Amino acid sequence: MTAIVAHAAPARWWHSRAVIRFMRHHLALLGIAMITLLVLACAIGPYALPYDSLHIDLRARFAPPLTGNHYLGTDPLGRDLAVRLLMAGRVSLAVGFSAMLLSTLIGTLIGVTAGYRGGWVGAALMRTVDGFLSYPSIFLVLALAATLRPSPAMITVIIAVTSWMETARIVEAEVRSLREREFVQAARMVGLRRSHIMFREILPNAMGPIIVAASLAVARAILLEAYISFLGYGIQPPLPSWGNMLNGAQQYLASAPWLAIIPGAAITMAVTSFNFIGDGLRDALDVRNDHI
Amino acid sequence: MSQPPMEEWHVERQIVDLSKKRGKAKNRRRGSQQDGRTKLEREDVPMASGEPAAAPADVALSVRELSVSLPQGMERAYAIENVSFDLKRGQILCIIGESGSGKSVTANAIMGLLPKVIRVTSGAINLNGTNIVGLAREKLRSLRGRVVSMIFQDPLSALNPLMTVGAQIEEVMVAHDVGTPASRRSRAIDLLIEVGLPDPQLMYHQYPFRLSGGQRQRVMIAMALALEPAILIADEPTTALDVTTQAQILQLIRDIQRRKGMSVMFITHDFGVVAEIADHVVVMEKGHCVEQGSAAQVLKSPGHLYTRRLIAAVPHLTGKDRIPSEAGERASILKVECLAKTYRSGSALFRTQRIVPAVNGVSFDLTSGRTLGVVGESGSGKSSLGRLLIKLMECDGGSILFEGRDIAGLSEAEFRPLRPKIQMIFQDPFASLNPRSTVGQILTVGPVAHGMPYDEACERARELLSHVGLDAGAFERYPHEFSGGQRQRVGIARALMFKPKLLIADEAVSALDVSIQAQILKLLDQIQRETGVSMIFITHDLRVASQICDEIAVMHRGQIVERGPPSQIFLDPKSTYTRELVAAIPGEQPLSMPEHAEYGGHHKGGETL
């Protein structure tokens, strides 16, 4: 059965099969809902809460959750945990997103070039990728973070520089198979330049895997930022991030466990949601899965 | 074209019914028989009630008013509607139709292999007197392979790449608990002998990737024959094969059918094949059976308009030369000398290098405004030749003089200004258009890159779209919204955007249905007469080449073995290879006698019957 299953073109983008398949992926929808909630809370929340994130109230130190107006309690300096959590969320999510954008950009550029050029150019680029991959990235991140001044922008760059390889490999493989398709031959036939073919003919066809890789990259970037901040090389106090909140909480683990549990839960929530979205996108964009 | 839900070999596994837990399956089968019967009664009330299952004794398979529904959102509600036909014992029934006519759905319904979303809604399929519609899975399983068996179109994807040929044939018998390991082994070897494979003892241990396409199809046939089924369903078994291999496989199927008195249901889109082997013909169009009758009757005096149109569209060897358009001066536009291309794979360092000469010392010249056909089987180097001429691939030696200038040694940058003069029409209308670009973008991107103002390019694109027979609305739409024939028209329009001097058509009509094929050939002919463009027409189909070419070059193993006008190639072939090729064309008598030339195109395949 070949042509008989040819389907009418979708009238609107939300009628397309990919969207329909994504909407049927319940976990992915849950992920979208949780991320939207988190982002909105981080964006608006700090204005709605009665405290400033740097407001110190030594009389209210170690207040457990739900004391007075401190909905999530206070930290060892008596700062409101809810406000700090949301402010930290701004930093962590921003770092995660920007690191994803940057790493996807680097990975895509290198992947498309390596995949389309092939030959020694491709080989050299892909061996560089292998080189980066063979070095444990967590040590690389720590080494870089220890020597460079750890501002949020710098942390973003460090994370991006150590996590673009996966995107590069995915894109390279995809482009290498697209390169052999006849429409690329046709583009050469009409005399298009190489850069035009690479980025305007081939790249749009490789967007599916790139989007999937990007959604998983956000999750990993958030996690990585939490690692380095937890170890003290990342975002420096007083600027809060989920990672350094955990760092500050470790010595009070027995007396004030909520200090660790709450930022930990935020990290888990963000990372799982992005992973769910990534899974949903992978299933939705996989063309081999073309029956609804 | 949407992807099939499973690899064909996976479906094949279902046919031979590999069941890992056979013991369990057997128990279940016992239990499910009653289960199946009640289910049958429950589901089959509408049509099973009035219709007695008993059919005349000489009918092996009888399909009655079969309808199969498609899920919503497809182009029509039914894949097939009210289809009825009989397959008589010991006969070959051909089901012919174009893509989308529902012929494969019919075959899969009989095998019980329809995907879950496509369901039989009414009708009956009587196999040896049993209605199998709505039959329990386990009962169907025991019928498949034993009573009815199937051969697929693509033998490579229908064979499991990780199992030896022998193991795959034995698997069919294992799945149905037939014989002992030793008897199965000897039977497998007998089958390999029966389907004419050389050195069966060795073949038994081979993996499918080591075999040629024709050999793989023979293995598929051996598998299908393993349990001596009464009915063999062949779904386009020769479509993916070369013409000489096709002739051998058709011969084999006919021999086996005669020897064993088997009934064969043969699905094809090629009237040439029908003329070769059919006893009885069913013509299908858009899910309906429009005509049926004996082969002689349908081929000689088709009743239905659609059948007549289909038969008229089948390309025939004309044996007549094309009348060149009457323009005056004829200059040579392309002169190719000793062109060579060698593929190297593996590494020279480890001495495992394989060297395959794809194009080996090819020379020819082309007069402007004429068409040269390059004909050959797969692997003959004809497509490589096309790509060398348009410099999508660098040649290793020789020269290509285009308008007097040698373009063989030019670098990509030096050649770019010349690209507009040489354009190509690609084979696969589905792969050759960028799925993420609109038709407008596809047409205008090239000219714009060569400096044509965007508005002018758009105007020319719209003009050309209407010229190739598409409406102006096509400009804004994406390739997936078009059918294969329409996409090929877009491909032609793209090649014409530059007003090229030379057009290379690489199997430009091979992926299309015959009626569409005829239209596209007519369009190309018309374009040539209007614009005076020269053409190189690469094809594996001699019949198509004879329709459009002024001169034909036959390629074999990278070399041109014979060159001449169609009349000479078809009526008086000089080389043995050309003679074989011409003789293998299905549905055509070998045109050895010169007087046939006069009847040319009116020569109908039915005469071979």
CATH of the domain at A221: 1.10.3720.10
Is A64 part of any domain? no
Size of interface A-B (CB pairs under 8 A): 119
The 3-class SS string of A140-207 reads HHHHHHHHCCCCHHHHHHHHHHCCCHHHHHHHHHHHHHHHCCHHHHHHHHCCCCHHHHHHHHHHHHHH
Number of domains in chain A: 1
Distance (Å) from the C-alpha of residue A282 to the closest C-alpha of chain B? Answer: 17
Three-class SS state of B179: coil
Is A86 part of any domain? yes
Distance (Å) from the C-alpha of residue B327 to the closest C-alpha of chain A? Answer: 28
Distance (Å) from the C-alpha of residue B192 to the closest C-alpha of chain A? Answer: 29
Q: Are B372 and B366 in contact (CB under 8 A)?
A: yes
Taking the model in full, what pTM does it have? 0.76
Interface touch A185/B480, C-beta < 8 Å: no
pLDDT in tens, chain A (292 residues): 333 333 444 455 666 677 888 888 888 999 999 999 999 988 888 887 777 777 777 777 777 777 777 777 777 777 888 888 898 888 899 999 999 999 999 999 999 999 999 889 999 999 999 998 888 878 878 888 888 877 888 889 988 988 899 999 999 999 999 988 889 999 998 888 889 999 989 998 888 889 888 988 988 898 888 888 888 888 887 788 888 888 888 888 888 888 888 889 999 999 999 999 988 888 887 654 444 4
Lowest mean pLDDT among A111-125, B131-145, B345-359, B407-421: B345-359
Question: B352 pLDDT band (50/70/90 cuts)?
Answer: low
- Residues from chain A that touch B419, judged by Cβ atoms under 8 A, are 189-191
Q: What are B68-78's pLDDT values in tens digits?
A: 888 776 667 88
- Residues from chain B that touch A193, judged by Cβ atoms under 8 A, are 449
Interface touch A185/B426, C-beta < 8 Å: yes
H runs (alpha helix) in chain A: 17-23, 26-48, 81-117, 119-134, 137-147, 152-161, 165-179, 182-189, 194-196, 207-230, 242-249, 258-285
Pairing of strands B59-69, B78-88: antiparallel
Question: B8 pLDDT band (50/70/90 cuts)?
Answer: low
Check pLDDT > 60 for residue B16: no
Is A170 part of any domain? yes
Give the bridge partners for B231, in sequence order: B148, B263
Is A12 part of any domain? no
**Which A-chain residues 261-290 have CB contacts (< 8 A) with chain B?**
287-288, 290
Residue in A1, A8, A189 closest to B105 by CB: A1
User: Higher pLDDT residue, B44 or B11?
Assistant: B11
Report the alpha-carbon distance of residue B25 to residue B3 in Å, rounded.
Answer: 31
Q: pLDDT at position B345, please?
A: 66
Interface touch A185/B4, C-beta < 8 Å: no
Mean pLDDT across chain B = 81
Residue in B419, B478, B480 closest to A191 by CB: B419
Is A31 part of any domain? yes
Residue in B2, B100, B390 closest to A290 by CB: B2
Q: Are B63 and B83 in contact (CB under 8 A)?
A: yes
Residue B362 has phi, psi (to 5 degrees) of -90, 130
Residue in B1, B102, B115 closest to A6 by CB: B1
Q: Which amino acid is at A27?
A: L
Q: pLDDT at position A12, please?
A: 59
Q: What are B227-249's pLDDT values in tens digits?
A: 888 899 998 888 878 888 888 88
**Which B-chain residues 320-339 have CB contacts (< 8 A) with chain A?**
none
Report the alpha-carbon distance of residue A79 to residue A74 in Å, rounded.
Answer: 5
Is A71 part of any domain? no
Assess A211–B contact: CB distance below 8 Å, yes or no.
no
Q: pLDDT at position B120, please?
A: 86
- Residues from chain B that touch A208, judged by Cβ atoms under 8 A, are none
Question: B39 pLDDT band (50/70/90 cuts)?
Answer: very low
Report the alpha-carbon distance of residue A41 to residue B205 in Å, rounded.
Answer: 66
Check pLDDT > 90 for residue B553: yes
In which domain, by residue range, is A229 found?
Answer: 17-46+77-289
Q: Which amino acid is at B588?
A: E
Check pLDDT > 90 for residue B59: no
- Residues from chain A that touch B493, judged by Cβ atoms under 8 A, are none
Q: Give the DSSP per-residue string, B375-436.
A: E--TTSSHHHHHHHHTTSS--SEEEEEETTEE-TT--HHHHGGGGGGEEEE-S-TTTSS-TT
Report the alpha-carbon distance of residue A216 to residue A275 in Å, rounded.
Answer: 6
Is A11 part of any domain? no
Q: Give the DSSP per-residue string, B46-71.
A: HHHTTS-S---TTEEEEEEEEEEE--
Domains of chain B: 8-313 (3.40.50.300), 368-392+421-589 (3.40.50.300)
User: Higher pLDDT residue, B54 or A5?
Assistant: B54
Distance (Å) from the C-alpha of residue A101 to the closest C-alpha of chain B? Answer: 23
**Which B-chain residues 115-154 have CB contacts (< 8 A) with chain A?**
115, 117-118
Residue A211: how many other CB atoms lie within 10 Å? 17
Lowest mean pLDDT among A218-232, B340-354, B375-389, B441-455: B340-354
**Which A-chain residues 129-188 have CB contacts (< 8 A) with chain B?**
181-183, 185-188
Report the alpha-carbon distance of residue B401 to residue B385 in Å, rounded.
Answer: 14
Assess A190–B contact: CB distance below 8 Å, yes or no.
yes
Residue B501 has phi, psi (to 5 degrees) of -90, -30
Residue carrying the six token digits 């149905």: B176
Instruction: Give the tokens for residue B61.
Output: 């398979």
Three-class SS state of B326: coil
Is A228 part of any domain? yes
User: Higher pLDDT residue, B358 or A14?
Assistant: B358
**Which B-chain residues 78-97 have CB contacts (< 8 A) with chain A?**
79
Average pLDDT of span B201-213: 85
Distance (Å) from the C-alpha of residue A19 to the closest C-alpha of chain B? Answer: 15
Interface touch A3/B484, C-beta < 8 Å: yes
Check pLDDT > 70 for residue B530: yes
Q: Which of B561, B550, B553, B548 is nearest to B518 (CA)?
A: B548
The residue of chain A nearest to residue B441, with distances taken between CA atoms, is: A201
Residue A232: how many other CB atoms lie within 10 Å? 15
Q: Which of B240, B213, B224 is nearest to B168 (CA)?
A: B224
Distance (Å) from the C-alpha of residue A208 to the closest C-alpha of chain B? Answer: 12
- Residues from chain A that touch B392, judged by Cβ atoms under 8 A, are 185, 188-189
